[in-house]
């Protein structure tokens, strides 16, 4: 039994020694690629994108094309007119049909009163009346009642002193000229000139004023020397 125990011990020792000689070394661990962000691993160089600084677009100022409107004022040749009986003269556009007619005097008045029509429908006319009728104040009162109230001035046209009245309403300009008694002509006639200009016709008032500015009186001894066509009388 003792011998058997000894044999067993020897066998165990032999087995232990044999196992120690045949034990294989552990397999080498495969080298792994470093993981970005892992301590000790080289950091990969990533492209750096730098955001461009936002530069606000400069304010672009655009202006509308400048439109230049040229308005041509057509100047119509004028024609000289005269009234050898009433001793006044003026110039008007040659295409105007100028006529004079006798008008009814106020009740109880004596003498003759005339209306010269330059533009139809009372758009432009001249009243000629004897100063002894005292009509001048009546015309002034009529013009002063225009609405809106007119601007009133005193003007001198070719030696004749007029009271001038002007007002505008509803797209029209109304103008009246009343000659002073002291400015009556050698026959004792005075004149009232009135016109209504349409404001939508750019140069109408200007053209009418030019006709007024040409108005003049002349004496009987000069009648034959005054140039111009005689204003026809109509009924």
CATH of the domain at 91: 3.40.1000.10
Domain-embedded: residue 54: no
The answer to the question of residue 41 being in a domain is no
pTM comes to 0.70
Provide the residue range defining the domain that includes 86: 78-103+111-234
In angstroms, the first-to-last Cα distance of the chain is 182
The DSSP symbol for 70 reads -
CA distance 154 to 101: 28
The verdict on residue 158 lying in a domain is: yes
> How far lies 67's CA from each of 62, 71, 158, in Å?
15, 13, 42
Q: How far from 115 is each of 36, 42, 120, CA to CA, in Å?
A: 113, 116, 12
What pLDDT digit, counting tens, does each position of 46-75 carry? 454 445 455 555 556 666 777 776 778 888
Q: What is the pLDDT of residue 89?
A: 98
Which span out of 30-39, 41-50, 125-134 was modeled with the highest average pLDDT? 125-134
143 part of a folded domain:
yes
In whole angstroms, what is the distance from residue 15 CA to residue 9 CA? 10
Query: Per the domain annotation, does 209 fall within a domain?
Result: yes
pLDDT band (50, 70, 90) for residue 183: very high
* pLDDT-based confidence at residue 174 (cuts at 50, 70, 90): very high
User: Looking at the 3D structure of the chain, how many domains does it have?
Assistant: 1
Q: Note whether residue 45 is domain-resident.
A: no
What is the pLDDT at residue 105?
A: 79
Residue 116 placed within a domain: yes
- Per-residue pLDDT tens for 86-108? 999 999 999 999 999 999 877 77
Residue of 204, 225, 142, 216 lying closest to 176 (CA atoms)? 142
- The rounded mean pLDDT for the chain is 82
Residues 114 and 101: beta-carbon distance below 8 Å: yes
In a domain, 142, yes or no: yes
226 exposure class (CB count in 10 Å sphere: 0-12, 13-18, 19+) = middle
Q: How confident is the model at residue 76 (pLDDT cuts 50, 70, 90)?
A: confident
Exposed, middle or buried: residue 180 (CB in 10 Å: 0-12, 13-18, 19+)? middle
């Amino acid at each position: 039994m003792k011998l058997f125990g000894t044999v067993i011990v020897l066998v165990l020792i032999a087995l232990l020694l044999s196992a120690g000689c045949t034990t294989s070394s552990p397999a080498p661990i495969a080298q792994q690629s470093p993981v970005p962000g892992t301590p000790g691993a080289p950091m990969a160089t990533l492209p750096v994108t730098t955001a461009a600084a936002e530069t606000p677009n400069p304010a672009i100022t655009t202006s509308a094309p400048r439109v230049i409107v040229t308005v041509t004022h057509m100047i119509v040749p004028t024609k000289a007119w005269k009234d050898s009986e009433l001793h006044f003269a003026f110039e008007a556009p040659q295409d105007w049909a100028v006529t004079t007619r006798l008008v009814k005097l106020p009740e109880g008045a004596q003498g003759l009163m005339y209306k010269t029509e330059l533009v139809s429908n009372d758009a432009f006319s001249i009243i000629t009346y004897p100063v002894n009728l005292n009509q001048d104040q009546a015309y002034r009162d009529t013009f002063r009642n225009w609405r809106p109230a007119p601007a009133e001035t005193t003007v001198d046209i070719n030696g004749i002193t007029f009271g001038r009245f002007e007002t505008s309403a509803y797209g029209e300009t109304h103008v009246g000229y009343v000659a002073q008694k002291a400015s009556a002509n050698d026959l004792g006639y005075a004149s009232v000139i009135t016109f209504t200009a349409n404001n939508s016709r750019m140069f109408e008032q200007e053209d009418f004023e030019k006709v007024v500015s040409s108005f003049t009186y002349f004496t009987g001894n000069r009648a034959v020397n005054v140039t111009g066509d005689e204003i026809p009388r109509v009924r």
